[in-house]
Each structure stands twice: as structure tokens, then as C-alpha cells.
Amino acid sequence: MNSDLINQLGHLGPNDLPYSIPIHPNLVHLTLGLFIAAIAFDIVGVLFPVEKAVFKYLAIPVTRSSLFDVGWYNVLGAAIITFLTVASGFYEILLADPITDVKSAWGLQAMETMLWHGVGGVVLLSLIVGMTVWRGFQRYLWRKDMARQVQWSYVAVGLVIFLLMFLQGTLGAHLGGEFGIHTTADQLLKMGENPNQRL
């Protein structure tokens, strides 16, 4: 990015951001947690007749509809948070100053990794929003009078999205771990400073 524009932001910290802790990684983990919990509770809800005896034995008072409620509200929360996750990711990637003389474990340069990670973020956002709409139709229209509120195909697509999240997360880990993007200690070492003295 143009250095004159970056200078307009004021002082950037050692992580190349105008704030001390990157926001994107924290929101990523919130998105992951909400989406994984949503699919997990829907899976438990789908398999509830098989597990009902286990819940009864453990004296856990649970109903099938409450499991589906948790699944619905978690996927809805994931869809909302993912907009902020992707937005913060694009903001922080604009300020990125990667280490350029290395390749990732997948053989990608820093720019290729940033591009694939950005595209993957938009794809995952679209998939999560699509899953939320699909889940809403199942909850309020298609299956509202049925005991099993979600379709097997919905659960299967959710599991495929887990795989895409793993690939996307690995690209993000490459950005931080191998290219030092917004990793304070890596950036201090790149500038020739001792992180133990600055942090």
C-alpha cells in the first residue's frame, strides 16, 4: 500500500497496525466456534433418538428442539460475526508488511497466500450466510412441524465447510507464522530489534 496513505493513520505499532492486538484472528476463532457448535448441536439433534438413552442415563434434561435451537442461534451468530471477520481481515491485510524472501509450507509466496486467504474468506462468508438461510428455511418453513428440524444434506454440507475452514485456517496460519504478518515478535526481529526489550 502507498506509504503516504499509511502515514495518515498515525503511528503503527510493531505489528504494523494502529492498535496493539490484531482483531481478525480473534474474530476468526469466534466464527469457527459458533459455526462448529451450530453443526455439532444439529448433528446431536439429528441423532437424538439414538442418544436419548445416554442423556437419560446421565440425567441431562435435554429435548430435541432445544438442541436445534442452539444450532440455529449459533449459525445465525456465525453469519453475523463472519461479516466483521472478513472486513477486519481485509483491513489488516491492507496494512500487511510480509516477509517476502520465504515460501510457505505449501510453496506459496506471501502475495499468493494473501490473495487465496482473502478469496477463501469471501467464499466462506458466502457459504456460512447460505447455510444460515438454508437453516432458516428448514426451521421456519420446510420442517417446522417435524421432529427432525434439519436435513442430512445440511449436516453433510456443514461437514464439508469444516474442511474448507481447515484449509482457510492453514493459509491464515502461514500468513502469521511464516510471513510474520501482524506478528509483533516477527516484525521486531525483521527490524533488527530485540522483542524481549520492546515487549
Which class would CATH give 20-198? mainly alpha
pLDDT value at position 15?
67
| pLDDT tens, residue by residue, 22-36 | 888 889 999 999 999
Verdict on whether the full-model pTM lies above 0.85: no
Select from 35, 49, 43, 31 the least CA-distant residue to 68.
Answer: 43
Residue 74, pLDDT > 80, answer: yes
Segment 146-190, tens digit of pLDDT: 666 787 888 899 999 999 999 998 988 888 877 777 766 666 666
> What pLDDT is stored for residue 87 in this prediction?
93
Query: In this predicted model, what pLDDT tens digit does every residue of 94-114 receive, in sequence order?
Result: 877 777 788 887 878 888 888
CB 123 within 8 A of CB 164: yes
CA distance 183 to 175: 9
The DSSP string of the chain is --HHHHHTT----TTSSSSSS-SHHHHHHHHHHHHHHHHHHHHHHHTHHHHHHHHHHTT----HHHHHHHHHHHHHHHHHHHHHHHHHHHHHHHT-----S---TTS--HHHHHHHHHHHHHHHHHHHHHHHHHHHHIIIIISTTSSS-S-HHHHHHHHHHHHHHHHHHHHHHHHHHTS-TT-HHHHHHHTT--HHHH-
What is the model's pLDDT at position 22?
82
Q: What's residue 150's pLDDT?
A: 83
